[in-house]
Chain A
Amino acid sequence: MKSLAIINSSAPYGQCNYRESLDMLLANASYDRPVGLFFEGDGVFQLLKSTDAALTGNKDVTKTYGLLELYDIEEVFVSKQSLLKRHITREQLTIEVNIIDDAQWFTTLNNYNQALSF
């Protein structure tokens, strides 16, 4: 099985990218396919603890991120520069992640055979 990286670069709730990327991730993981989850740009907003999804009429995506462990999805990477630019710290994120810089970003992505971005 080819491994798959899923890259989130859009903020949650404005579009349904966050939800459909998550559906895609979990579907692949449930077939025991090796998957990695990446967040960069405005995609890092998806990981904020403090977001109140109900205000936007949406389901709270952070609850589903709590399930990643159940699916054995441990490879979650977040762009350091994207966090810095938005003044977001590790403590504000809802799950444990690997924070990587731009140089590591591409070498890490390169470990996956395929990628989909949302």
Chain B
Amino acid sequence: MIRDITIGQYYPARSILHRLDPRVKLVCTFLYLISLFLFKSIPGYVVATIFLVSIIKLSKVPFSYIMKGLRPILMLLMITVIFNLFLTREGDVLFSKWIFTVTAGGLRNAVYMAVRLIYLILGSSLMTFTTTPNELTDGIEKLFKPLQKIKLPVHEMAMIMSIALRFIPILLEETDKIMKAQIARGADLESGNIIQKAKAMVPVLVPLFISAFRRASDLAMAMEARCYHGGEGRTKMKPLRYKKRDYLAYGVMIFYVTAVFFIGRYVPFKIWIF
């Protein structure tokens, strides 16, 4: 059950995306997220879709596996759609009944927002699928290194992040185990209304918190035992170095952003209200 949550997990495979420098993937993901908000037209979405689909194909991560990552944000997605649909008042009224009014602008916003959100999640989860937590933090650390000049503890922040990421699958597994143990003792975690369900989660949440604290303190102890004292004077076994493919990836990304920007803005193509 809980194993099905895939968002934020690494998916081992051998693809060009897996081999890219993590800095490239971080910067490109960031650019990609921004690019999604640069246009509001069908041609723009067509370009973005082609780009996203080809990147997913390149990554060799099964499409169905990536789609599973959408499940946790389904609720958020629905709320966004509903709010945009009914609360936006612009353009022609398409439908009106009692207090519900749908305008052309509202429908447009709702659809665009939904697609953007889905693309956002798919794109960013693709980064975590193709990058191990270690690589990711290495990338972040190196990218933000200049900020050390203004006394920002970059290494420590990167370490905190990598530990947090590392703990996601561990805690998921732990949750699964505790849930099973309590179900075996007759706990009913599924039926009842929201309040009953929340109450039924206590036997799962208490042990989970305790185990999280226990693991955290064990890890701190283990790190201290190995003389960890922060980033000062620490060198890397595999320092990050850009290779040819990394520059190529930057090139592709810049090309995509430019393309999506100009095509999204200046290619006139409309279907109905979109």
Do chains A and B interact in one complex? Answer: no
Which residues of A does B touch, CB under 8 Å? none
